[in-house]
Structure 1
Amino acid sequence: MLTGYQVAVIGGDARQLEIIRRLNEWDATVYLAGFDQLKEGFTEAIDLDFDSDQVERLDAIILPVAGTDDQGRVDGIFTNRLLHLTESWLKRTPSHCQIYTGISNDYFTQLTSHINRNLIPLMDRDDVAIFNSIPTVEGTIMMVIQHTDFTIHGSKVVVLGLGRVGTGLARTFAQLGAHVSVGVRSSASAARVYEMGLTPLDMNNLAEEMPECDIILNTVPAPVVQAAVIKQLPSHAVIIDLASKPGGTDFRYAEKRGIKAMLAPGLPGIVAPKTAGRIIADVISRLLKNSNREVDGS
């Protein structure tokens, strides 16, 4: 239970709705901002007034998975306005206040460090990212089926990156009967791919090593699917880029070639927001319970 904890949920997508529900179940006092167009209401929650003294009582602030922009502004699908988290406003929070975000940027990381607040990028944590890879993989399968006219079984798939999501993609598509190659940069990762029974590709020379391919699944947030790679693809090929914006694909060249290429970050929030929200809420609950607030009794 989180009885006595005061938490602000600011902006976001359908994942935040499950987080709000869980916080209410755990008896936290919940303040909301960025949900003014939400059809279903949360009668237990309180509208966050940025000009009131509510901020001075907050134990935690929960931001969307996408975090803020490079000016500290927060967006959401349930509002038509940007919410600005200024330095002066954040400085009014208690010193123990924890700020949760999915990912962060240099601006917000430096800002929270400057005012000495604990910023927790949840997607950097294995306990979130590994669980989160499950709906990401399922969503990728859905997109592949929707945008191809051939089966995954027997298709030639290239997965770029062997991180949490890349590993799940490579394993699952292989289990579905695809011929999977995995782009990696280190010899250790190449050995892991080989141990999985798949084909390693050297991403340092991807254009030269690129095999015949029907589907490219990119997880690397760097320009890896470049023109030299795309020009080798057959016209029926599909590229699904799961990296954070702007992705790692030359979308302009793909369009010029007539290759279907889609940027699809945040799939868990689209295909399984309830599960994705529960994953985030459970981790936040554990972190709050282990925070200095509870230990110090402040």
Structure 2
Amino acid sequence: MLTGVRIVVLGGDARQLEVIHRCVELDASVSIVGFDTLEHFPEGAVKETLSDQLLSTADVLILPVVGCDDSGNIQAKYADSDTTITLTAKLAAELPEHCTIFTGMAKPYLKEICKQNRIRLIELLDRDDVAIHNSIPTAEGAIMLAIQQTDFTIHNSVALVLGLGRTGFTMAKTLQGLGADVRVAVRREEDIARASVMGLKPFLTRDLEKHAGQADLIFNTIPSMIITAQILSKMKSKSFIIDLASAPGGTDFRYAEKRGIQAMLAPGLPGIVAPKTAGVIIANSIVKLLLGEQNDRGNKQ
């Protein structure tokens, strides 16, 4: 149980609602900011306004998956239209040193204020228990987009998956299950064997230009420029690119548009296509960490 733990949730979307419900179920004291327009208010949570007093009592601060921008502004889907939620450096300084901040990914601004105030920061999307589970709704969402935006079947199509990390692995296996001719771009020689054992057709990223011309679909997971103008110049005009890497992605979107190739930047698909599942994944990870800390303190006592 999380009895006695004071949790403050700032902004977010439907994923945060699952986090709130889970924390309340475990008897935490939960205060929420930026949920004013909700029709069904989370039972057991207390609606608050952002203040230094609120943050000074927080054991845990939960931010949206995208954290905050470089000015500290926080996305809040359910906030009033005229309300801006900003985690300023002054407000952050009110957080107790024992406080832990949870977010999906942190930009330099958030990392810096945590460093200055010696606040523990946990980026959930870096954790395997979140990223691997999250790869499933990501793959399902990418497949949905491919079906909606093309006039051919995934079955028998040539699908390139760039990167064989946590998302790339699930993406490749999902496409394989749908009967696509799946070819995977990997960076290291040792990954060639791993992909081959999976029944995939691997090649090194440096050889992408040789394979791009055969692609009907490209799913990119590499967060750096890889689908360059040179690569795009080799591709069929009816090819479709879904870039799953975090913004700005790894595609030259300007040149893709110039060539008439449809390319879509689609980060954050779990929160769009399956917010409930994505929220449960995040909630389970946060609760696991908090309960683990409580057990550690109990053992030391």
1:145-164 alignment runs, 5 A limit: 145-164=147-166
- 1:100 matched residue in structure 2: 102
SS in 2 for 1:119: strand
**2:212 and 2:235 in contact (8 A); partners too:** no
- 2:75 matched residue in structure 1: 75
- 1:195 matched residue in structure 2: 197
- 1:174 matched residue in structure 2: 176
Matched, 1:2 2:2: yes
Runs ≥4 in structure 1, deviation > 6 angstroms?
none
Deviation at 1:108, TM superposition (A): 1.4
Partners of 2:65 and 2:52 in 1: how far apart?
Answer: 26
SS in 1 for 2:226: coil
Deviation at 1:52, TM superposition (A): 5.3
Deviation at 1:125, TM superposition (A): 0.4
- 2:14 matched residue in structure 1: 14
- 2:60 matched residue in structure 1: 60
Letter in 2 for 1:234: K
**2:243 and 2:251 in contact (8 A); partners too:** yes
Deviation at 1:44, TM superposition (A): 2.1
Partners of 1:55 and 1:213 in 2: how far apart?
Answer: 51
Partners of 2:283 and 2:43 in 1: how far apart?
Answer: 19
Partners of 2:37 and 2:96 in 1: how far apart?
Answer: 29
Instruction: Say which of 203, 206, 218 aligns to 1:216.
Output: 218
Unpaired segments of 5 or more residues in structure 2? none
TM-score in terms of structure 1 length? 0.94
Letter in 2 for 1:34: G
- 1:268 matched residue in structure 2: 270
**1:154 and 1:177 in contact (8 A); partners too:** yes
Unpaired segments of 5 or more residues in structure 1? none
- 2:146 matched residue in structure 1: 144
SS in 1 for 2:203: strand
- 2:45 matched residue in structure 1: 45
Letter in 1 for 2:293: S
Partners of 1:43 and 1:181 in 2: how far apart?
Answer: 48
Deviation at 1:275, TM superposition (A): 0.8
Q: Superposition RMSD on alpha carbons, in Å?
A: 1.8
- 1:252 matched residue in structure 2: 254
Partners of 1:26 and 1:97 in 2: how far apart?
Answer: 19
SS in 1 for 2:219: strand
CA 1:293/1:32 → structure 2, altered by over 3 Å: closer, same or farther? farther
> Once the two structures are superposed, what CA deviation does each residue of 1:140-199 show, in whole Å capped at 9, x if it has no partner?
111111111111110000000111000001111012110011111111112211221211
SS in 1 for 2:251: coil
- 2:113 matched residue in structure 1: 111
Partners of 1:167 and 1:52 in 2: how far apart?
Answer: 44
**1:201 and 1:210 in contact (8 A); partners too:** no
Letter in 1 for 2:62: I
- 1:123 matched residue in structure 2: 125
Letter in 1 for 2:73: R
1:78-89 alignment runs, 5 A limit: 78-79=78-79, 80=81, 81-89=83-91
Partners of 1:83 and 1:183 in 2: how far apart?
Answer: 41
